[in-house]
């Protein structure tokens, strides 16, 4: 009889421990590749689907299904490399010296988000929903890369255009466990973006005389869908 009581006690402890583990919630870190689908005015003005990387970190509010966290996304809105002649000084006779170089033109969209998440399940398959609010920037930068005595050098780094706006929206996601603490993570966002001005990459030209950049700026609301696939780690 004593052995039976001990067996029942051990079984109850095991069940209690398993239930406790099921209720236990831990922070998570997720990142993956992302593609943006511009909507409305944004989709009419900007021709393309910016792609890049995105990540977020959330922590639970105690044992509740609610979590809070932050996120960051980078999407390329266009890039190109153009051959240019770089002025590097004068020779002993006072003549200008030029060397071949490459002007690198990069237009990027950066988003910084705060989020509140509802994640009701903690098992092998998890779904979640986020409320999102944050800010984003649209930046076009240039620099010139050239060889200098056998090694690569970058000069004339310059922000050609930048703008800033706010956004808000929601997201839905699903996770499937691959191994303890590691999940495949798929995520969809619907974001309402404010008015922003950004460089149209189709209009970029380089002035061959002084390597200055010429371009046209577009302005629109920046509503968008985002699609993301990656991995998540729960600690």
In the chain, the largest separation of any two C-alpha atoms, in whole Å, equals 107
- Per-residue HEC secondary structure of the chain comes to CHHHHHHHHHHHHHHHHHHHHHHCCCCEEEEEEEEEEECHHHHHHCCCCCEEEEEEEEEECCCCCEEEEEEEEEEEEEEEEEEEEEEEEECCCCCEEEEEEEEEEEEEEEEEEEEEEECCCCCCEEEEEEEEEEEEEEEEEEEEEEEECCEEEEEEEEEEEEEEEEEEEEEEEEEEEEECCEEEEEEEEEEEECEEEEECHHHCEECCCCCCEECCEEEEECCEEEEEEEEEEEC
Residue 136 is assigned to a structural domain of this protein: yes
Range of the domain at 193: 28-79+108-142+149-234
- Please compute the mean of the pLDDT values over residues 187-198 and round it to a whole number: 97
The CATH number that applies at residue 63 is: 2.40.160.20
Residue 166 is assigned to a structural domain of this protein: yes
User: Tens of pLDDT along 42-101?
Assistant: 999 999 999 999 999 999 998 899 999 999 999 999 999 988 887 777 777 777 777 788
User: Tens of pLDDT along 211-231?
Assistant: 889 999 999 999 999 999 999
Would the pLDDT of 110 be above 90?
yes
**The predicted structure's pLDDT at residue 9:** 43
- Please compute the mean of the pLDDT values over residues 8-32 and round it to a whole number: 62
Would the pLDDT of 6 be above 70?
no
Residue 72 is assigned to a structural domain of this protein: yes
User: Quick one: how far is CA 93 from the chain centroid?
Assistant: 51
CB 223 within 8 A of CB 192: yes
CB 30 within 8 A of CB 55: yes
Residue 7 is assigned to a structural domain of this protein: no
Nearest to 20 by CA among 75, 73, 81, 63: 63
| Separation of alpha carbons 229 and 175, rounded Å | 10
Residue 93 is assigned to a structural domain of this protein: no
- Please compute the mean of the pLDDT values over residues 24-38 and round it to a whole number: 95
Would the pLDDT of 34 be above 70?
yes
For residue 150, name the pLDDT band (cuts at 50, 70, 90).
Answer: low
Residue 198 is assigned to a structural domain of this protein: yes
Would the pLDDT of 23 be above 60?
no
Residue 199 is assigned to a structural domain of this protein: yes
Residue 165 is assigned to a structural domain of this protein: yes
Higher pLDDT, 163 or 148: 163
CB 55 within 8 A of CB 71: yes
For residue 11, name the pLDDT band (cuts at 50, 70, 90).
Answer: very low
For residue 3, name the pLDDT band (cuts at 50, 70, 90).
Answer: low
Higher pLDDT, 100 or 118: 118
User: Tens of pLDDT along 170-190?
Assistant: 999 999 999 999 999 999 999
Q: Which pTM does this prediction carry? A: 0.84
Higher pLDDT, 111 or 202: 111
How many structural domains compose the chain?
Answer: 1
């Amino acid at each position: 009889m004593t052995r039976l009581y001990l067996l029942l006690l051990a079984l109850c402890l095991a069940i209690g421990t398993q239930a406790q583990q099921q209720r236990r919630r831990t922070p998570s870190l997720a990142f993956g590749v992302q593609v943006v689908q511009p909507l409305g005015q944004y989709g009419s003005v900007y021709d393309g689907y910016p792609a890049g990387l995105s990540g977020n970190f959330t922590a639970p509010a105690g044992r509740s299904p609610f979590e809070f966290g932050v996120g960051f996304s980078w999407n390329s809105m266009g890039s190109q490399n153009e051959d240019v002649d770089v002025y590097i000084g004068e020779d002993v006779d006072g003549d200008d010296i030029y060397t071949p170089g490459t002007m690198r033109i990069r237009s990027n969209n950066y988003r910084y988000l705060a989020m509140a998440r509802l994640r009701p399940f903690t098992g092998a398959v998890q779904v979640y929903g986020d409320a999102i609010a944050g800010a984003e920037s649209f930046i076009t930068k240039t620099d010139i890369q050239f060889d200098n005595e056998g090694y690569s050098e970058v000069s004339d780094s310059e922000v050609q255009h930048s703008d800033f706006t706010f956004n808000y929206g929601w997201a839905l996601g699903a996770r499937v466990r691959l191994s303890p603490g590691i999940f495949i993570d798929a995520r969809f966002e619907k974001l309402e973006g404010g008015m922003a001005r950004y460089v149209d990459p189709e209009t970029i030209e380089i002035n061959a005389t002084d390597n200055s950049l010429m371009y046209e700026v577009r302005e629109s609301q920046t509503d968008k869908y985002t699609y993301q696939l990656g991995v998540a780690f729960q600690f």
